[in-house]
A = this chain, B = another copy of it.
Amino acid sequence: MEKAFKKHSEASCKQARLAIQDTLDVVGGKWKLVLIWVLGNGKRKFNELSRDAGISPRILSKELQELEINGLVSRTVCNTRPVTVEYELTKYSNTLSEVILAMHKWGVTHRKKITGKA
């Protein structure tokens, strides 16, 4: 039974595919939503992010650049020595809150269902 979704027209299917895959283009992959979640704690430095998220520096650098390009994260070079850089969520990243919270919530509930644990 498909109660949670409205019936879609054929054009709606094409448009839905486009919309969903657009979202995946921006925040798909193993780490991007995790990084956004972690930065929800507040601005972080590169190594802090690497540690808090548990991600390798090479991938972290790559993902942060993409998130910055898409306007979801901002990068600030601090006037310190050695140089430090701070990463912070942008206002625009708030538009992803429903996506992230839904993903997080579903993952938690699904794991409980799978393991039978609460």
Q: Which residues of A contact B (CB under 8 A)?
A: 1-8, 10, 13-24, 26, 28, 30, 33-34, 37-42, 52-54, 89, 91, 93-111
Other than A24-B30, A95-B106, give 9 A-B pairs with Cβ distance below 8 A: A6-B40, A15-B108, A17-B37, A17-B54, A19-B107, A19-B108, A98-B102, A99-B99, A99-B103
Mostly, the A contact residues are helix
| Separation of A100 and B26 alpha carbons in the complex (Å) | 15
Residue contacts A-B, CB under 8 angstroms, 28 given: A1-B94, A2-B39, A2-B42, A2-B94, A4-B97, A4-B101, A5-B97, A5-B101, A6-B40, A8-B40, A15-B108, A16-B38, A17-B54, A18-B111, A19-B105, A19-B106, A19-B111, A20-B100, A20-B104, A20-B107, A21-B34, A21-B107, A23-B107, A24-B33, A24-B103, A98-B106, A99-B102, A102-B102
